[in-house]
Amino acid sequence: MSTQLQSRTQAASTNDAHRIQTSLQSLPPRKSPQRSRTAISAASVVTLLLACANCFADTQVGAPLPPAPDILYGDLFVAVQTAQIFPDQKTFVDSTPNTDPATIVQLYEAQKNQPGFSLLNFVNQYFTPPPDQSITPPAGQTLRQHIDWLWTGLTRTTTSAPDNSSLVPLPKPYVVPGGRFREGYYWDTYFTMLGLQESGHEDLVDDMLDNFAYMINTFGHIPNGNRTYYLSRSQPPFYSYMVEIAAQKEGNSVYQKYLPALRKEYAYWMQGASSTPRGQATRNVVVLRDGTVLNRYWDELDTPRDESYIEDVQTAQQSTGRPANEVYRDLRATAESGWDFSSRWFGDNQNLWTVRTTSIIPVDLNSLLFHLETTIVRACTVARDFGCVGQFAGYAARRAEGINRYLWNNKGYYGDYDWQLGKSRDNQTPAMMYPLMAGVAWPERAKKTAQTMQSVLLQQGGLATSTYNTGQQWDAPNGWAPLHWIAIQGLKQYGRSDLAQPVGTRFLADVENVYNTQQKLVEKYIVEGAGEGGGGGGEYPLQDGFGWTNGVTLMLLDMYGGGQ
């Protein structure tokens, strides 16, 4: 069981324990209990619910959380997701039970084998699906007016959550991406903050910084999102960039305020760095044979994701010759990367079932951690903690050396490294621009990387996410707002504003075209050709909203749109 789960399932009251045990004492044992987390027995559900102190009251900020849905409902969870009761697997895990889970499990076990039993009717009776997030904008808004109007519709305040909901309450308001994404997401938030600042919502920027500090202190890291089923992993660590943009507006005291959170986040990513033998990995840390310490994406669980259960099971079934738990771990690690899914992580560059994310040292992650190290240096300087300054300056210098040794592809760009195969990955993606944004790229290599990006990835509608069209959303022909912003910032940092401009203007034209024809902003766009509209592929339909597109678009309007 995860440490987070252990910490949030402590000591129930005697009354709750007695009530659950009485209601479930007649349940038969499961005949094949060997599959932990994928099919939890009724007896296991009883045990876990007995340990859930607040399972029968609204969950307040700071209170113990219920287990994730796959644990909370066991076999019922597996049945619902396998039957695909909802077109989107995320719908069920975001639903709210209408009574306590112990009763629901008891009723399911009692009824499931009766003639005429309908799982659909059972779910409709005992669960309330999440509310529709679609919103209708006023007519006649300009693109800028529309984004400013959207912020209110995408802002949530959830200091408590309904009984046994998967939602994790947060102390301050936050902005969600939109569509099926009903909660806050880690790396999305940085790009959303850019737009919030431009729109004059510095208060929301501060609120979300505080929420992330709260989660670091509560869970030891910033989760993928504020759902119980996301607690086993993080996402690309942009917190230092968030602190940086707040400090640019509010002054250096911001660095000192969030220094403890920055250091705790760093400790999370570096667990095992000092004890892992050379040539091996521990969690997010990889120690290469020469002693170089770099990082990878990781998830502490090796089971199907709650929100994509049936997709993960089917992927593992296609992956012949590999244990299913290895496939699940790699799928989850890819979810931590934010690039779920992309040929970038595939062994054969084409098929999801060849995913090997935990075997790959990603160029984006290590560039972000370099920025985290240098931000801690700056924060410790503000705090006049010069021992910390020296320590983290050393960490940053060693990481810079490792990035330029292992994450430089001799074909002319920064890229990922397969540490198990001992060779560079030949995948050209906009992730090559992260070392430029972080300022860790060598000048001559930055120049070559910019040339590769221009010749290989720059299309008529912006930057393609990869050179492969696999049907996955983080591949061609799609382009994503955050990757354009990263490229623009990296190019400008190394004196290539001339190349940053077509990257920005082409993508902005794509966004404007979709808005002018459909009056909405979307999660991703087709950038090949003249920009053919919203993108596609992946596990779910194209989503409207959309937080990070809104933020980046406002910045591009300021840079290249004449303020319109």
Q: What amino acid positions are annotated as catalytic residues?
A: 340, 523
Residue 544's SS3 state is strand
Residue among 449, 370, 468 nearest 410 (CA) = 449
**Phi and psi for 459 in degrees, rounded to 5?**
-110, 180
Q: Taking a C-beta distance cutoff of 8 angstroms, is the pair 463, 512 a contact?
A: no
360-361 and 417-418 beta bridge pairing: antiparallel
Q: Is 294 exposed, middle or buried (0-12, 13-18, 19+ CB in 10 A)?
A: buried
| Phi, psi angles (nearest 5°) of residue 539 | -90, -10
| Tokens (6 digits) for 344 | 């970038």
- Count the Cβ atoms, other than its own, within 10 Å of residue 180: 18
Q: Is the CB of residue 285 less than 8 Å from the CB of residue 295?
A: yes
Amino acid identity, position 133: Q
What SS3 string covers 345-359? Answer: HECCCCCHHHECHHH
Cα dihedral value 520, 434, 184, 307, nearest 10: 90
- In sequence order, what E strands does 102-141 have? 127-128
Q: Report the distance separating Cα 281 and Cα 419, nearest Å.
A: 10
Contact present, 436 and 450 (Cβ < 8 Å) = yes
Q: How far apart are CA 321 and CA 354, in angstroms?
A: 11
Q: Which residues contact 547 (CB under 8 A, 6 or more apart)?
A: 154, 175, 176, 177, 178, 181, 185, 188, 189, 191, 192
CA 62 remoteness from chain centre: 22
Burial (Cβ within 10 Å: 0-12, 13-18, ≥19) of residue 310: middle
